[in-house]
Structure 1
Amino acid sequence: MSEANAAALQGVPVTALWTLWSRASESARTDSEFCDFRAEELCRSIYFDYRTFGRPAQTQVLRARTIDVEIERFHRNSPGGTVVALGEGLQTTYWRLGTPDLNWISVDLPEMIALREQLLPEEARVRTVAASALDRSWFDLVGAGDVLITAEGLFMYLQPDEVYALIGDMAQRFPGASVIFDVLPPGLTERTLNGTKLARGSDYVLPPMPFGLTVAQTRALPQQIPGVSGYHELPMLPGRGWCSPMMLGLQRRLPLVRNHRHLIARLTFA
């Protein structure tokens, strides 16, 4: 695997390096069940000072694992179906899942797709689209059959009206499909609008996150977006410390927290 310079990445695309580093760091731990050797290779191959992000984020790993479970379920029920990964960044999901017999469409900005194509191997079933997830041109690349759309770590960086319009258009174009995405509470996303450092001792300032919802607001999306027929919260797979089963359970029960927490949602289309 050749080396690459990430200097071309600016703004939101830089967050792909943050999530990559978190996955690679977790995969390298001897006390973790998470394995992502492709992420470890990518991390070593990209010239970048990852220390600018502070400590790795375990929540990003648990988010990836939770979505992995849903893609595996989709694969069992719909072999030969299509996964559309919006804003895929430097995710290595396709290889982590053992290159499943799924048609895979990776959509991201041109500079990110260029980096992916430089460092990741060509796969017959994987197609890349160098465009914004908001550019509906990728709609025409999705063939017949079952469809699962993922937007891992993406929607919070878009404007609310953009998110609602995109979900509505997907619902109209892909009846019976689903979209999986993660949601941050407004109290967290609003703090990023004026510039927030990622962590103490870190120089990295998070990009603005205009889109945040409470749990109750996320549950109400089927009543607000035409074509959306169902909502399901995907239980976050547990980890260590603040992400242990006990702590995740407390977050769902404590009155001051249960409506204002990070969650992963699946919306189904009529």
Structure 2
Amino acid sequence: MDPDRKVDAGMLAGVSETALLTLNGRAYQARHPNAILDDPMAIRVVDSIDFDFDKFGRRKGQEMALRSLAFDRAATAYLAKHPKATVVALAEGLQTSFWRLDAALPTAEFRWLTVDFEPIIELRRRLLPESARITTLAQSALDYSWMDAVDTTHGVFITAEGLLMYLQPEESMGLITECAARFPGAQMIFDLPPVMVKKFAPKGVRSSSRYRVPPMPFSLSAAELADLVHTVPGVRAVHDLPMPQGRGFFFEKVFPAFWGLKATKNYRGAYTLLEFG
């Protein structure tokens, strides 16, 4: 890519456009002198895109960086035990997780499978470095044919960062169920918003006068998530992951403490790790 020519990202719309929102939040945090996430690739990508990021409003994005940090920690733990595993990144958007994990695990040989719609895949091809360990599939995560491309020999770790909440309940549950059936021994991580979001913001949450985050029709409470071991065949264990500590009093002390309280568990969002048996 010519560093003097920026890439137009204006073709993204709907849920796909949220890839730019989360990318911008991570890059903003990565530039901070006391960064909570080391993500130089996110900075590079943001600087290479021709897009009006100000339309999203507030840019701090610490919660977005913390989500990526929680996902990285779960992936790192799995890859430390399965260094040649295949990571499947569903609806990956403009995430830069591969490069963060590759830096954190320099001796690992994990392979990466990105699954997303064609406009996102094309942007990734233009913005991100190539690697022989990365394979991309331009299709919906709900087109289960991607499962045929997964090498299960050395383990499988599936990520659905910022995906399930935008699907219909039957689609999200169908995806979890199919993954559990197809990949015994694998792990899957996903995030969900508080259950009240779908009730109180059925048309989506406005982040600025010029942008509204798409509706999030799917979520589950902590109790419903824990019950997946009984309701979804193949789910062997459900782990409610902690909120990483951020920067500043609220994100370092208050938010993680709130996240960990039993009384608030069913009213907050969730970072959930599933083990398939």
TM range (shorter): over 0.9
Does the 8 A contact of 2:187 with 2:273 survive in 1? yes
TM-align CA RMSD: 1.5
CA contact (8 A) 2:242 2:259 kept: no
Alignment partner of 2:154: what SS?
Answer: coil
Aligned to 1:175: 184
Deviation at 1:24, TM superposition (A): 0.3
Q: In the alignment, is the contact (CA less than 8 A) between 2:222 and 2:266 conserved in 1? A: yes
Letter in 2 for 1:248: P
Mapped contact 2:195–2:269 kept (Cα < 8 A): no
- How far residue 107 of structure 1 moved from its aligned partner, in angstroms, is 0.6
- 1:18 and 2:26 aligned: no
SS in 2 for 1:149: strand
1:114 aligned partner: 122
Q: Structure 1 counterpart of 2:42, which letter?
A: A
Tell me, yes or no, if structure 1 residue 155 matches structure 2 residue 161: no
User: Could you tell me how far apart the structure 2 residues matched to 1:195 and 1:75 are?
Assistant: 35
What is the alpha-carbon distance in structure 2 between the residues aligned to residue 208 and residue 253 of structure 1?
27
1:220 aligned to 2:239?
A: no
Return closer, same or farther for 1:33/1:212 CA change in 2, 3 Å cut-off. closer
Conserved 8 A contact 2:242-2:256? no
SS at match of 2:201: helix
In structure 1, runs of 5+ residues without a counterpart are none
How many matched pairs? 267
Which of 3, 8, 12 aligns to 1:9? It is 12
Deviation for aligned residue 1:248: 1.6
TM score, norm. by length of structure 1 = 0.94
Pairwise CA distance, 1:215: 1.4
Higher mean C-alpha deviation, range 49-58 or range 87-96 = 49-58
- 1:160-211 residue CA offsets vs partner (Å, 9 max, x unmatched): 111111111111111111110001122123333224312xx44211111110
> Would you say the 8 A contact 1:147–1:177 is kept in 2?
yes
Is 1:139 the counterpart of 2:143? The answer is no
Paired-residue identity, %: 41
Q: Which amino acid aligns with 2:200?
A: R
The DSSP-based 3-state class of the residue aligned with 1:84 is strand
Cα 1:71/1:52, change in 2 over 3 Å = same
* Corresponding residue number in structure 1 for 2:33: 30
Q: Distance in 2 between matches of 1:132 and 1:190?
A: 26
SS at the partner of 2:188?
A: strand
Aligned-pair CA distance for 1:254: 6.5
Report what 1:85 is aligned to.
89
Going from structure 1 to structure 2, the CA distance change for 1:154 and 1:233 (only over 3 Å counts) comes to: same
Distance 2:77 2:260 in 1: 24
Runs of 4+ in structure 1 over 6 Å off? none
3-state SS of the aligned residue for 2:120? helix
Moved more, 36-45 or 222-231: 222-231
Q: Is the 8 A contact 1:192 1:207 kept in 2?
A: no
Is the CA contact (8 Å cut-off) linking 1:156 and 1:189 kept in structure 2? no
